[in-house]
Structure 1
């Protein structure tokens, strides 16, 4: 017995030892196979940190653990993350490893993963990373080159993961958070049944920028039958839960060898309780639905059926019916009653999206006793959009809190009254046949008062009225107050319907008037307590490319950040992705300002600004504390009393805070001052200390006149003269946006200005210079040179004796300064030219694609129209032939019957038959002619659409290629 236990112990120990060392024996082989398969098949950057192997986790099989697995896309999604999987567990059949056969994977688990699926507007997807293999290469590939991995999954799980699907081609976005998924079944069989269960704590979906679902709690149970021989997937009794709403669906999805995707699905709501439907509305689900009393039915059903390929899309139908529903919060006095919705969207399938139909014959409800109703019908959305609809009703804002719980402090007042109807086709608007398009009514906001939490201000609108017509939307009245800020406005919008429903250009004008308006009051308060009080958190504003808008303004007092402007007048134009400022006049900082400018967002990656400024009699010290550019480039202004005039032209890129990128600034101008006082400025203090002339620390100077240029992040000052009493200084140099400096001053000082200490300094300078072989002598006027470097706060000043009048030195300084300026300009011009050439090349490539896509789309429309036209003509010809054949047979029978009655009857029958044939021939010809006319109209309309597509593409290309 002892011997038995001893042997058993040895065997157990050996098994444990094998379980420990076997994974390491085969680790290199498994890792090599994995990496080889990846490199052989994937066109992406795939990486993982390490691989761990174990026999204990899933004995007797081997457990593989990959950590920090990432898949980073190459072009055209360069740098985008397709997948990041912190931990991947896989179970591998140990016998497949021991035999040296194909390695068989049984189970896979992805934990805390991020899956990021992207589709570009041209349809390219970032998961299409499998390397393409030439057919001939496939045939020539020997058997031993086939895959060394064999997927024999029986279980696949995902835990605590995040899933993103962002499809630019469909303008669809889907986000799933905290996803858990389990798939079980035998994937080794040709025919198998899988059980799938998926949950997502938060599901968010949007289409065309409209949020359809917001952080919905989702769950999916779906048994799945698979026929791998046919690639046929059958969904049986599947159930999708969105919050408390349950949707049942079933159907098939097949991928035959011809490349089509064939689908046939039906779906319907599991229950008809209105409360289930109510849970899909975020603001309702956020409250406690259990305590809300509801009544009424809600039914949703539909289907998805047809073929999806390059030339066809499946048909679909969606129906929603809510009948006499209501909801009521128990603690509130009123309810929302008589909720009725009847809506459907249908599409028969194919490639003609003109056949999409939207019908909403009724959407109505009573909000605390006030009825709101609407209807909408849509036809021919592609070829000639036909709309019919209306909205009618009133919302008493002061009663919202009676039927829906509002946050503390929110108690809106006022009334919104709407009475709008429209009926017509888009083509009538495009042809300016306004009388054929019915669009009229009004939208009125009256006595509106609301406290805004985002800006912590009370907003009041005494009255605002919009009137609608086919030609324009008229804002006849707007009176706005935000605490102490007031604004009145009126204006018009033209081409409103084409802009809203297609790609039309919105045109308009607006007149604004205000006595007091603080823009900062209207910006959301920042949450960042580290920011100074006068810092406003903003981001660049993108100007749309299909707006042409003019604004004329008069603001008696206008405040932005810490800048106060008075009597501001001027015009703003919004056109072609630019905001243009024209003839803006204002009073600021004790003086006046006149400006023209441009804010350019045509380059989506980088906003730009251009300004032409004239400032007159501006207080110098106030300008330092007000304008960031002066703060950066003229810190001397902080220590200067006086006023200045300047004319300035400047171009600059803007950062994400809409502030200038100082290194990109180009331009220049001229500056003139009144008599000024400079006191306690660091550079003057240093010169005063070095020359032992304390009077220079407080300079009472005459007017200054200088010119300057912005080049490569520096302000270059052209040579100018400063005078203080009998002291003159010719100065030039530059200051950078980081306040580093490089100046030279040729200073002429009367000998009488030097006292005892100053004379000692002067004599030392002369002696030091003469030791180097010069022969400086002191005359009635002393010429010295000051070389100034370092920074404005910590300048480094070096004093040297001058030569004669200092004119030659000044000329040399001018020459060197101009050479440096020209060098910097040339560098910028070279860089700008290269960037322009690059942008033009990119724009050319993009333009070629736009034109090619437009030609393809146009050709598809014409081809489809021609097919339909041929079908119409063919059907008409067949109908005509059939009609003639039936008439011929009828005539023969009529003559045969008449022949039995005698020759007279036979002759009469022949004549009647001949007359009948003539009539039928006319009908047949008319049938063919009508078909020809209809088919010609169809082709003509397709040609019009095609030409519009090409024209729009050419216009888009013209804008794209307009690069300056």
Structure 2
């Protein structure tokens, strides 16, 4: 016995060793066969990491696994992944592995696919990415194909943890199947057989941007009769679940050369209204097990006809319910008087003729009755809608009767009686002539919250009349944050705004008692914190993207940053996250503000380009409140009076929507209407006062002062402008930085009389009115900073130069005086001799006259000669000394 066990053990070990070792010998053959099979049959790029063979895993069958399979397309889908799979496994008889190249094809008995992703795509030109099989010269239609190296006699198969995507760009159809698990077993090689299958998956489907299924849970247990000769598959015993709605199927699908022939009927086996709740995805309907319902609910349908490139099966699907109700056990309200009569039909087989006829959709919550009906046609192309709504809804009751979760709690009373007829293309392109609306909508006590606004908007009252091509906003009263506003106007595309991604277009007249600009801005999407109440310090604000409108605004008070504007009037054009201000006027700083320009938040950093006009601003108030004015003209803070200015500026805005000063550029023209200076407000004037003691800067004549300047990159360049103090003219030029660094030159034209006693003594000696009016330029260089200025002047050198100038003038005057006296004397002498030579022709004078003339001439000559000698002597003495 021991020997027998020993022999059995040794034999078992040998067999086991062979089962482990032999696959390594044949693995290369299998790998080459898989490569050859794919290369011979596929027009695509095929890659896989490895092919393994095992006799142990599926003993007594061989198990072949292809790992990390990736198939990518050639043109016109070049580079796109068609199929990827973690592994694909084949089971076959061990004897199949030992076949030689001349033997029959290897027969595969089962296939399993794990974690596969398959994308089926048809582009706009009709090309299919799944048309990748090569045409065989001698195609075979049997279950075996010797040319391929493989034959299939499948007994069972499975697909697990996989996904399928179908995209048809022609019909704009998208189908997404996720979490797909499918298995089946049967005999495929027989002419007639049965296939027992189980499937569960999540399915989403949309056609032309209309979502029909959204992650709907589908389960199907189907026994399918297969007639392989006729390629006809019959549903024999079938039970399915769509979400939680049970359905039973009967009928068949037959594969034709040019399509498929379908004849299927289905219905829900019960008639409880709970089946209606089961149609709704569980994520919305929640647990319906304990929901109390009354009334009936039936779904039945027939799908019959041919699927081809030109046709679809005819459809006759009906959904009905009569006088039903439901109540969730943990919610206070119920929904009653539910009546549904809806049909989905297609009688021609033309896909464009499919339509949905909602004859009745009525319900009641508390005392609020809501009625509606609609016809929706042309589902796959430009959908046509004709709908009627008549009813009242307390919006707060929606979540009290049905377990739907909104981001923000709804409230308010909606009353509507509207007929609307439109096509979706008209909605998307704003073709108003094809949008027909009549009726009215009234909304009261409604609170609206959205990611597009900072604060919830509380709509106290909204009354709208629907006209054929627009909506008249008859009244609108609302609050948001600390702002209140009232509006009337016209809305051009309310359906486009509600049903599509269109902007809200219209013209509005807006009135407000208090309007805070930050209440209407939205938070930046890049912000790290979110809130529907406030904007965090590190967030920037945005102009809402959904607005495309013109607003004629009138407000008693508008608050922008730290500014309070009164009696604001103007027009605001908002589009593409840009606000265009037109003729905006306001009372501010006891004057009038006028503003035009643009503010844009399209880029990550908001930008502005504005023209600002100020008429009669109180200087002290404006420079106290506006950092921009302080930066442009810091010294003006010391002025008391009125300011007129025109400023053109552009730059970027910070997160609080105020200008980033280092980015601001532009130019300005300013006129000061002022009579006094507060020297305590500026150390610059105090420093000048000390350096130039002949000027009292508190008494500068600033009347009608005008200045031009430009600024960029944080620097202000001031064009030369004129000031005056008594009879002293002053010219100022230079510039400063927004950081309050100074670099100015002030040139003072100073009359000589202000320059000290020495200069005045010289003026007295000269005693000439023209000399008394002489002036010299004194330049003051102002550097440092506004709070710590440095003053340098050339006053000393100027006085010295003036003194030399005056001495020279006095000297020249004495010389010129001496020359004049000599000239007069010589002229007299020459004049006397000439008279004597002509005495014969003149009348003789009296003796007394002769005597006087003679004495005068003699005294003059004496004085001149004496003066000349004395001067000469003084010069000699001076030389000797």
Residues 15 and 437 (structure 1), Cα distance of their counterparts in 2 relative to 1, 3 Å cut:
closer
Query: Structure 1 residues 110, 595: closer, same or farther in 2, change over 3 A?
Result: farther
Structure 1 contact 368–402 (Cα < 8 Å) conserved: no
Structure 2 equivalent of residue 463 of structure 1: 461
CA drift at 1:29? 1.9
Residues 461, 477 of structure 2: 8 Å contact kept: yes
Is contact 1:44-1:129 (8 Å) kept?
Answer: no
Distance 1:413 1:115, change over 3 A: same
SS at match of 2:226: strand
Q: Give the unaligned 5+ runs of structure 2.
A: 615-621, 638-644, 658-662, 671-706, 721-732, 736-742, 746-881
After the TM superposition, which residues 378-777 of structure 1 pair with which residues of structure 2 at under 5 Å, given as runs? 389-400=387-398, 403-404=401-402, 412-421=410-419, 439-449=437-447, 458-494=456-492, 508-512=506-510, 515-518=515-518, 523=523, 528=528, 533-536=536-539, 550=550, 569-572=570-573, 582-583=580-581, 594-596=596-598, 705=710
Partner of 2:192: 191
Residue number in structure 1 paired with 2:315: 316
Q: Deviations over 1:156-186 (max 9, x none)?
A: 2122334444444444444444332112112
Displacement after TM superposition at 1:247 (Å): 1.4
The equivalent of 1:351 in structure 2 is 350
Distance of aligned partners of 1:519 and 1:293 in 2 relative to their CA distance in 1, 3 Å threshold: same
2:156 corresponds in structure 1 to 155
Match of 2:366 in 1: 368
Change in Cα spacing, 1:363 to 1:530, as seen in structure 2 (3 Å) is closer
Contact 2:486–2:511, Cα closer than 8 Å, also in 1: yes
CA distances 1:509-552 after superposition (whole Å, capped 9, x unpaired)? 344555124357755998956999445599999889xxx86555
Cα RMSD over matched residues?
Answer: 5.9
Note the C-alpha offset of 1:381: 8.4
Structure 1 unaligned spans of 5+: 601-605, 625-635, 651-656, 660-666, 675-701, 709-714, 723-727, 731-746, 750-964
> 2:329 matched to which residue of 1?
330
Decide whether aligned partners of structure 1 residues 231 and 409 sit closer, same or farther in structure 2, where only a CA change above 3 A counts.
closer
For residues 573 and 364 of structure 1, do their structure 2 counterparts lie closer, same or farther at Cα, with a shift above 3 Å needed?
same
* 2:301 alignment partner in structure 1: 302
In structure 2, distance between residues paired with 1:427 and 1:210: 13
Change (3 A) 1:78 1:443: farther
Contact 2:453/2:544 (8 A) holds in 1: no
- Residue pair 1:485, 1:518 contacting (<8 A) in 2 also: no
The TM-score normalised by the length of structure 1 is 0.55
Which string of whole-angstrom CA distances, capped at 9 and with x for unpartnered residues, describes residues 818-840 of structure 1?
xxxxxxxxxxxxxxxxxxxxxxx
SS of equivalent to 2:188: coil
Instruction: Tell me how far apart the structure 2 counterparts of residues 297 and 146 of structure 1 sit (CA, whole Å).
Output: 59
Aligned counterpart, 1:272:
271
Q: Which residue of 2 aligns with 1:24?
A: 24
Cα distance change, pair 426–195 in 1 and its aligned pair in 2 (3 A):
closer
3-state SS in 2 of match to 1:112: strand
Tell me which protein shows more strand as a share of its residues.
2
- Contact 1:304 1:316 (C-alpha < 8 Å) held by counterparts: yes
SS at match of 2:38: helix
- Distance change in 2, residues 1:457/1:180 (3 Å): same
Q: Which shows bigger deviation, 526-535 or 9-18?
A: 526-535
Give the Å deviation of 1:292.
1.7
Point out the more displaced range, 533-542 or 615-624: 615-624
Offset of residue 130 of structure 1:
0.6
For normalisation by structure 2, the TM-score amounts to 0.60
Is contact 1:518–1:558 with CA below 8 Å preserved after alignment? Answer: no
1:358/1:205 CA distance change after superposition, 3 Å: closer
Secondary structure of 2:311's counterpart equals: coil
In structure 1, the partner of 2:854 is none
Q: Residues 821-836 of structure 1 correspond to what in structure 2 (within 5 A)?
A: none
Larger radius of gyration: 2
Deviations 1:134-165 (A, max 9, x none): x87989xxx99932233332222122334444
The structure in which a higher percent of residues are helix is 1
1:116–1:280: structure 2 CA closer, same or farther, 3 Å change rule? Answer: same
Q: Is the 8 A contact 1:595 1:613 kept in 2?
A: yes
> How many residues are matched?
653
Q: CA 1:203/1:393 → structure 2, altered by over 3 Å: closer, same or farther?
A: same
Change (3 A) 1:274 1:565: farther
1:557 is displaced (CA, Å) by 8.1
Distance between the aligned counterparts of 1:92 and 1:490, measured in 2? 78
For residues 117 and 557 of structure 1, what CA distance do their matches in structure 2 show?
A: 61
d(CA) in 2 for partners of 1:436, 1:525: 36
Q: Quick check: 1:586–1:592 contact (8 Å CA) kept in 2? A: yes
| In 2: Cα distance, 1:160 partner to 1:608 partner | 45
Contact 1:69/1:86 (<8 A) preserved: yes
Residues 357 and 379, structure 1, Cα contact 8 Å, conserved in 2: yes
Aligned mate of 2:111, from 108, 113, 134: 108
Task: For residues 66-103 of structure 1, give each alpha carbon's deviation from its aligned partner in whole angstroms, at most 9, with x where no partner exists.
Answer: 33333345555555444432343332443222113423
Secondary structure of 1:35's aligned partner:
helix
Question: Deviations along 1:165-219, whole A, 9 cap, x unmatched?
Answer: 444444444444433211211223333321110123x444444445444444331
Separation of aligned partners in 2, 1:84 and 1:234: 31
Corresponding residue of 1:68? 68
| Distance across 1 between alignment mates of 2:24 and 2:505 | 72
